[in-house]
Structure 1
């Protein structure tokens, strides 16, 4: 039963990884670039939310204000930084997101300070009695809620991409910017919607991870932890983000508990990257990523 508890706990953590990875997938599907600044978005959202709470703002009002802040920030970045770079080589866009990463981190710390905050999202980080009584497993209430929220966002995004006009337009833009523009698809509008949605995802991820680990600078490094998830699942697949997150979450927890002692512990920091490297050798596009075939 302990083995099952370890794996289930890892799967719940994996859904939280998937929540972060969804923001990357969304931007990649729209522009074909890895948005290095998504981790900074998560940090900025969590710090803004807890900063408003520290100022005495009501919880729900702080949530709404932080949502507005993230939408304004995301749309402003699209309009001021990325819009002038339309049709530039992807490496230019990628380098722009690296610059944005440091810019957003700096704005966050200048605005709200660099102290470490505890974040109370009104969900207790305690074991759920139901699972203790019926299965003997100590599963965190907070992680279960976070997993449910991540699953709900996956469903919403899947419906958005497959059932809505803007979702189909976004897929067209991802396939070919020039072709999308030639048939009248407003590229700037699509990118603004995409970055706005990425800002919302960053807020949710920031709240969940901030409550789990505290609101601190290390939240910005979630971009690095999401990278193995994306490599395994595929950079352009929502399903892949979930599956990759589950594999990383369960894999790192299992390795840490049962094998990590032979390596001196702390394997959660490097094992996901080892696992991702193995996937790169055998399936570089990821489990659900599209295989790119170039004809010459």
Structure 2
């Protein structure tokens, strides 16, 4: 039972991070109605910027690396992501208003490849580390109930708490604020939103900035765990099954989908992996997503699309 709980907790922690990545996809889709293939590239770009500025800023200011340097690096990187969001809207999205969704989709693919090349060009292509002070050593809980206790990764626990706080803040932003309601209106109909005075360009800058902030948090967390390298952009691919499972238009769906994927792949790898030779963790999420596409294409919490003729 102790080993099962250990695996379950590990899956929940990883699932929270998957959910955080998926939220970036949901944000863009809710505002533009298009799937953002550039989210993974934004994670890599922001993580590279954070890693390099955390090195450069202490050198420029003549101070020892530490908390202050990391905070300044986060602020500078966040400003850069807002600038990137503005440039994306100014030179790409604003020229595609009211165009076919496939045009916006191809634009996000182009943005993804551009950021994948621009990040290493500016910040370098080596493996960099991000150290924001999250503890690396595991801890043991419930040792009075189970022999040896249940091992919990403190780094994963901190990351899950940060992700949970961010998810709550984003949910409140979308549901309770005027800007959040405007974002949902833009997603429903660009022309109708413009006709009632909602500035489409400003809304897109806001949502891409928020998605960039989410990408920064994801980049810091995964960069701290794995190091900042090109594979970070591939981590975002795990969010594709999450949004299919939860629904492309639902923030709660992204959270629930992430937890289901995280727990499912951990439990299946541990308990079913030995029976089939292992490797289930690499394809479990995509297999589950395929099943949902066949049975419930809109996901658990997605809006069912009904075309009336």
Give the TM bin, normalised by the shorter chain: over 0.9
Counterpart among 292, 296, 299 of residue 279 in structure 1: 292
Specify the alignment match of 1:247 in structure 2. 260
> Does 1:69 find its partner at 2:80?
yes
Tell me, in whole angstroms, the C-alpha distance in 1 between the residues paired with 2:144 and 2:40. Answer: 38
**Aligned-residue offset at 1:54:** 2.8
Pairing 1:1-296 to 2, within 5 Å after superposition: 1-55=2-56, 57=58, 58-130=69-141, 136-296=149-309
Structure 2: where are the runs of 5+ without partners? 59-68
**Aligned-residue offset at 1:288:** 0.5
Contact map agreement 1:131 1:139 (CA 8 A) in 2:
no
Q: Secondary structure at the match of 1:23?
A: helix
Contact map agreement 1:37 1:97 (CA 8 A) in 2:
yes
Tell me, in whole angstroms, the C-alpha distance in 1 between the residues paired with 2:75 and 2:140. Answer: 32
Normalising by structure 2, we get a TM-score of 0.93
**Aligned-residue offset at 1:131:** 5.5
**Aligned-residue offset at 1:265:** 2.0
Contact map agreement 2:17 2:258 (CA 8 A) in 1:
yes
Contact map agreement 1:27 1:198 (CA 8 A) in 2:
yes
**Aligned-residue offset at 1:223:** 2.9
**Aligned-residue offset at 1:61:** 1.1
The 1:266–1:94 alpha-carbon spacing in structure 2 relative to 1, beyond 3 Å, is same
Tell me, in whole angstroms, the C-alpha distance in 1 between the residues paired with 2:139 and 2:305. Answer: 45
Q: Which sits farther off after the overlay, 31-40 or 128-137?
A: 128-137
Normalising by structure 1, we get a TM-score of 0.96
Aligned residues: 296
Structure 1: where are the runs of 5+ without partners? none
Q: Secondary structure at the match of 1:139?
A: strand
**Aligned-residue offset at 1:48:** 0.7
Contact map agreement 1:131 1:138 (CA 8 A) in 2:
no
Higher alpha-carbon Rg: 2
Tell me, in whole angstroms, the C-alpha distance in 2 between the residues paired with 1:108 and 1:221. Answer: 15
Tell me, in whole angstroms, the C-alpha distance in 1 between the residues paired with 2:143 and 2:80. Answer: 40
